Amino acid sequence: MDIRPKVLITKIGFDGHDRGSRIVAAGLRDAGMEVIYTPPWQEIATVVKLATEEDVDVIGISSLATDHLIVPKLLAALRAAGSDDIAVIVGGIVPDEDERSLLDAGVARVFHPGASLAEIARCVRELAAAVRARRTVEQELP
Amino acid sequence: MNQAIDDHLLRVTDAEARWQREYAEQIGSDRQVVNRSGIAIQPLYTNRDWDSSRHDDAVGFPGQPPYTRGIYATMHRGRTWTQRQLIGLGTPDDFNARLRAVLAQGATAISLIPCNSVFRGFDMDQSHFELLGTCGTVVNSAEHMDRALAGVDLARTSCAMNDPSPFTLLAFLLAVANKRGVDWRSITGTSNQSDYLSHYVANHMFFRLALPGARRVLVDHVDFCMRHVPKWNPMSVVGQHMQQAGATPAEAMALTLSTAIQVAQDCIDRGLDPDAFLPRLTFFFDISLSFFEEIAKFRAGRRIWARIARERLGAKDPRSWRFKFHGQTSGVDLTRQQPLNNIARVTVQAMAGIFGALQSLHTDAYDEALSCPTDFGARIAIATQNILREEAHLTDVIDPLGGSFYVERLTDQMEDEILRVMKIVANAGGMYRAVESGLVPKMIGESARRFQQKVESGEQTVVGVNAYVADEDAGARQALARPDATAMRAHLEAFRAYKSQRSQAQVAAALAALARAANAPGDNVFAKVVEAAEAGCTHGEICETLRRELGFGHVPAFV
């Protein structure tokens, strides 16, 4: 079944470089997805609330200046809100050591500079399909 | 006699026709070449493409209007550019250790990059601990500044600080100068990142106060510095963010010049004499890999600014007409794949800046697409400058590409393109209005998407990314040292103790005076920021007060 993924593209922390998040948001929209985009500097609680209320499949965090270091806090907040079925991906300047800890903490995928929009769209599509499938199974459980 | 001239012309015409024929035969299907600014590039330029009778008016001599060949008579043959590398990581003590090492190597100018929490207007006790000091130094008070600059002779060292409105870092520096008995009139340096318009449209992390407040505080800051810190450069107009965010080189130059006009006009409207503040105005640009285009961008920008300063802003002092700029090699052009290739990229970018006749240069470290630069990466970036300056003979001749048919023609074409974009901005009511209405952010976003499409389609080659891809582990290099968590925790505890031990009455009074000034249009807000710094107020307290009175610097979703 073809689904229309719903994605939140946002930035947490203090960095304001948004060329990447704007390009990815526009690219995913062009690829036919439903994209919610926010300006930089969102509070973690705001992201959780928005993602939950909008029932998104995937959250994409753009990090160009070490803000990825607080992504584990976002994952914990999603768990606390019972919204950890949402897949979280990160894109930007993420050193390898940090990528490993992010993946260990539950981030689905990390994209680095040079990643193509097609590659990101494919990944989001797959993640969204998996999220929807899991949600369907959960709903059918007694 | 006439017969000889006719013969000569005939031969030249013959030669040209022959070249055109041979070129068409040998090239097969010629590809269309268009530079980043959208200008079509020919395969060959000759004296038919550039009318040398315009030489004296359009090119002239170095140090003379229109300054196409450089703003000083001697240019790099007399004095090479200032090597200004950015530093900033960890605690003030970490910064001081790094700074002293740089000064010991002979540097006379320093730079201070604060932590992202500082950029956004918060103190360390209002921030995620994980982020503190990871992208800059945590400086929240005059006391922190004193430690960061321990052992530095403030009267003899030029300090460049990334210090957006309301310019708390300069306020802390002035408080330190008072404490050490250093005359403010001897202090030199630059308020980098003072350009709120570029922060609103591009690098938003520096955008602390809402547009109208930011506009007013900048003029207050310029006014204050002219009166009390006359050797300080209070305003750096930034094209770098806009080009990094996606503006083409011509757009970035046009938007920067439009910003300079806006700021200068705001200062003139305040009653400041253009010849008092324009000589202290500096520019900051990105240098991309599009080598000749960047050189032409800088040559054209110098020429346009000389005309604007004189004719439009009414400046009479030639120092006001000089387009002084700092260049930084473009980080966006660097790749994570095969990162050592970036050394070659930075070298070409830096050469474009040097031939573009810059006054100061930052070369990026090759590993900036992987993380904040390592010491090793930073050392190669400095060595690149040293090689270009002292080994490569680039500085022997002033404007060595001047007179090239291609470069002169391209300079003219870039000038036309820059003027075209400036006109769009002027028609929208000037840069402030064009920024506020979203016109400028939209223009930049569209250019960014166009460039991305060129990369994804393969029209623009990026070695290691969409061509010449190699199976190589980009991460195979030494790990970046993050600030020591124990030292940062101690810094945080000391800051908390400092805050509780201050004279709270003095702090409250200074912040109340700051709030009053913010609401009294005739008062100088920056003067009160300086008083607050001397009273022991912190960066976060000063920013919070002004955010409350003047509005927080939010940006809309530009998608």
- Beta strand B109-112 with B360-362 is unpaired
Distance of alpha carbon B85 from the chain centroid: 12
B306 is written with which tokens? 């000389």
Best CA proximity match to B534, nearest among B175, B266, B228:
B175
Residue A78 inside a domain? The answer is: yes
Q: Which of residues 84-123 of B touch A (CB under 8 A)?
A: 116-117, 119-120, 122
Q: Would the CB atoms of A22 and B445 count as touching at under 8 Å?
A: yes
**Tally of CA atoms within 13 A in the half-sphere of A68 that contains its CB:** 31
CB B195 within 8 A of CB B252: no
Question: How far is Cα B407 from Cα B415, in angstroms, rounded to an integer?
Answer: 12
Residue type, B395: T
Domains of chain B, residue spans: 1-30, 163-177+184-457, 486-550
Residue B438 touches chain A, beta carbons under 8 Å: no
Q: What is the pTM of this model?
A: 0.90
Distance of alpha carbon B92 from the chain centroid: 24
Count interface pairs A-B at CB distance under 8 A.
Answer: 115
Question: How far is Cα A121 from Cα A129, in angstroms, rounded to an integer?
Answer: 12
φ/ψ of B387, rounded to 5, equals: -65, -45
Distance between start and end Cα atoms, chain B? 68
Q: Would the CB atoms of A39 and B448 count as touching at under 8 Å?
A: no
Q: What angle do CA B461, B416, B281 make, to 5 degrees?
A: 90
Instruction: Note the ipTM here.
Output: 0.84
Residue A39 inside a domain? The answer is: yes
Q: Which of residues 463-492 of B touch A (CB under 8 A)?
A: 464-465, 474-475, 479-480
**Residue A66: which of B131, B558, B559 has the nearest Cβ?**
B131
- Beta strand A58-63 with A6-10 is parallel
Among B128, B137, B330, B368, the strongest candidate for a mutation testing the A interface, having the largest count of A CBs within 10 A, is: B128
In DSSP terms, B209 is beta-bridged to: B552
CA B426 vs CA B214, B262, B323, B356: distances in Å: 21, 10, 21, 26
Question: How far is Cα A78 from Cα A67, in angstroms, rounded to an integer?
Answer: 17
Taking only the tens place, the pLDDT of each residue in B324-357 is: 999 999 998 999 888 999 999 999 999 999 999 9
- Beta strand B360-362 with B82-83 is parallel
Q: What 3-state DSSP class applies to B256?
A: helix
Q: What 3-state DSSP class applies to B252?
A: helix
Total domain count, chain A? 1
**Residue A26: which of B131, B479, B559 has the nearest Cβ?**
B559
| Alpha helix positions (H), B35-108 | 75-78, 92-104
Q: Domain holding A37: CATH number? A: 3.40.50.280
Distance of alpha carbon B506 from the chain centroid: 37
Burial-class residue A58 by CB neighbours within 10 Å (0-12, 13-18, 19+). buried
**How far is A136 from chain B, CA to nearest CA, in Å?**
32
pLDDT at B178: 97
Q: What 3-state DSSP class applies to B189?
A: strand
Question: How far is Cα B94 from Cα B136, in angstroms, rounded to an integer?
Answer: 10
Residue B244 touches chain A, beta carbons under 8 Å: yes
Residue A1 inside a domain? The answer is: no
Q: List, for chain A, all residue ranges whose pLDDT scores fall below the cut of 50.
A: none
User: What is the sign, positive or negative, of the torsion defined by CA atoms of B51, B52, B54, B57?
Assistant: positive
pLDDT in tens, chain B (559 residues): 577 777 877 787 889 999 999 999 999 888 889 999 999 999 999 999 998 888 888 999 999 999 999 999 999 999 898 877 667 779 999 999 988 887 887 667 788 999 999 999 999 999 999 999 988 999 999 999 999 999 999 999 889 899 999 999 999 999 999 999 999 999 999 998 899 999 888 878 778 889 999 999 999 999 999 999 999 999 999 999 999 999 999 999 999 999 999 999 999 999 999 999 999 999 999 999 999 999 999 999 999 999 999 999 999 999 999 999 999 999 989 998 889 999 999 999 999 999 999 999 999 999 888 877 787 888 899 899 999 999 999 999 999 999 999 999 999 999 999 999 999 999 999 999 999 999 999 999 999 999 988 988 888 888 888 888 887 765 555 666 788 999 999 999 999 999 999 999 999 999 999 999 999 989 999 999 999 999 999 999 999 999 999 998 877 776 6
Question: How far is Cα B20 from Cα B499, in angstroms, rounded to an integer?
Answer: 76
pLDDT at B135: 86
- 3-state SS, B231-297, equals CEECEEEECHHHHHCCCCHHHHHHHHHHHHHHHHHHHHHCCCCHHHHHHHEEEEEEECCCHHHHHHH
CA B213 vs CA B221, B259, B268, B517: distances in Å: 12, 16, 18, 12
CA B297 vs CA A35, B50, B195, B304, B355: distances in Å: 37, 17, 20, 11, 11
Q: Would the CB atoms of B245 and A19 count as touching at under 8 Å?
A: yes
- Report the top-level CATH class of B163-177+184-457: alpha beta
**Cα dihedral value B69, B73, B76, B81, nearest 10:** -90
Residue B323 touches chain A, beta carbons under 8 Å: no
CA B41 vs CA B8, B33, B297, B414: distances in Å: 29, 5, 15, 12
**How far is A74 from chain B, CA to nearest CA, in Å?**
12
Q: Would the CB atoms of B462 and A114 count as touching at under 8 Å?
A: yes
Question: How far is Cα A65 from Cα A41, in angstroms, rounded to an integer?
Answer: 12
Domain that holds residue A123: 6-140
Best CA proximity match to B435, nearest among B206, B213, B198:
B198
**Residue B134: which of A26, A66, A112 has the nearest Cβ?**
A66
Which DSSP state fits B331?
S
Taking only the tens place, the pLDDT of each residue in B236-266 is: 999 999 999 999 999 999 999 999 999 999 9
User: Mind giving me the DSSP string for B303-365?
Assistant: HHHHHIIIIIS---SHHHH---EEEEE-STT--SSSTTHHHHHHHHHHHHHHHTT-SEEEPPP
Question: How far is Cα B544 from Cα B552, in angstroms, rounded to an integer?
Answer: 9
Question: How far is Cα B383 from Cα B13, in angstroms, rounded to an integer?
Answer: 48
Strand order in the sheet with B360-362: B82-83, B360-362, B325-329, B281-287, B235-238
Taking only the tens place, the pLDDT of each residue in B1-14 is: 577 777 877 787 88
Q: Would the CB atoms of B369 and A19 count as touching at under 8 Å?
A: no
Q: Which residues of B touch A22 (CB under 8 A)?
A: 445, 448, 558-559
Residue that has been written with the tokens 């700092």 in this structure: B326
CB A120 within 8 A of CB A91: yes
pLDDT at B479: 64
Q: Which residues of B touch A23 (CB under 8 A)?
A: 448-449, 452
pLDDT at B9: 77
Which DSSP state fits B363?
P
**Residue A16: which of B203, B449, B480 has the nearest Cβ?**
B203
Best CA proximity match to B498, nearest among B140, B24, B195:
B140
φ/ψ of A88, rounded to 5, equals: -115, 125
Q: What 3-state DSSP class applies to B463?
A: strand
Q: Where are the beta strands (DSSP E) in B369-434?
A: none
